[in-house]
Amino acid sequence: MKSLLAGWLALAAMCILPGCSQKPPAVVIGPAHVAATTTAAVQVAAAKPVASAFTPPTEAEMPGGPLGDVIRQGRDIFTDTPEHAKAYVGNGLSCSNCHLDAGRLANSAPLWGAYGMYPQYRKKNGHVNTFGERLQGCFRFSMNGKAPPLDSAEMVALETYAWWLAKGTPVGVKLQGAGYPKQGFKPPQPPDYARGEKVYTASCALCHGADGQGRQVAGRNVFPPLWGPQSFNWGAGMHELDNAAAFIKANMPLSRGGTLSDQDAWDVAMFMDAHERPQDPRYTGNLAETRTKYHDTPTSLYGTEVNGHLLGAPPAAH
């Protein structure tokens, strides 16, 4: 554990320096692909009115006894999901890779901003979801795994941790800093793969690797893979350009959120999301049909072609 922590600290310190000079393999993006992400393609719906900012309780305020034990279990699952919920994880990611600072950080979809917004209807699965069902979706898509049962110890612990972080928040009110800051956030120009590759090389490759496969210490991810077999699958929200760009703008490079321009954030989101990743578990066996049914949005690159490769196509199809 000490070696893992030491490695993480060393890499984290590196991440405040300029990006390394390594360059990922170039991929040329075709005109048809660019057309799929025109200015109209990246329109973002206006957010609902937000309440004032919220400060979650500190870890020192965690209660003792059985309740505190379950809260701590939820925190541990959240920050090292492959270790503490291994039966349900299919890649190398942890919840805290996208929900930073153990689910506490504003503008990185903090748990305290989500807990009080459920139940709510989700178009993604066509019914009213409880908070537990929302968490199940994270395992299925972001973790490329399988949903824990709602009454499982893992799910109870995660919900309890989220409840504790959200103590004192109003129910049904979107809080300032909840989600990713997408209101009015669109690029001056349509996102561009080639520009995004340059941003990635300069600002992202040092932590996430020139090949996008993250950084490991003692066989464990300390910086997450952004594409490939150990990353989120095509059903995850982060594969949508607007989600990825807003998260990147607010939070990346690590500890230097807000330093990239809007255009750079959209361009590097395009570069990241234009790489192959695990199949959407809702895949019907037909790529065009799956796109029409689940990805019919101009911010999804699923089913579009980049450099002759049809993103989301099974290997036998190309």
CA dihedral 241, 258, 227, 124 (to 10 degrees): -40
Total Cβ atoms within 10 A of residue 39: 13
- In this prediction, residues 187-198 reach a mean pLDDT of 96
The pLDDT score that the predictor gives to residue 1 is 44
CA distance 120 to 171: 12
307 versus 134: which is more confidently predicted? 134
| CB-count burial class (<10 Å; 0-12, 13-18, 19+) for 48 | exposed
CA distance 132 to 74: 13
pLDDT digits (tens, 9 = 90+) for 167-179: 999 999 999 999 9
Q: What is the pTM of this model?
A: 0.83
**For the chain, what percent of residues have pLDDT higher than 70?**
83
CA distance 287 to 305: 12
Query: Tokens 């490695």 sit at which residue?
Result: 7
Kindly tell me if the per-residue pLDDT of 81 is higher than 90: yes
Q: Which tokens hold the place of 109? A: 């979809």
The pLDDT score that the predictor gives to residue 307 is 80
The pLDDT score that the predictor gives to residue 315 is 72
Picking from 115, 107, 102, the residue whose alpha carbon sits closest to that of residue 169 is: 115
269 versus 17: which is more confidently predicted? 269
Picking from 283, 278, 306, the residue whose alpha carbon sits closest to that of residue 295 is: 283
Task: Grade residue 308 by pLDDT with cuts at 50, 70 and 90.
Answer: confident
CB 291 within 8 A of CB 300: yes
What are the residue ranges of helices labelled H in the chain?
Answer: 2-14, 31-35, 65-79, 81-84, 100-103, 111-114, 131-137, 153-165, 193-203, 205-208, 241-251, 262-273, 287-294
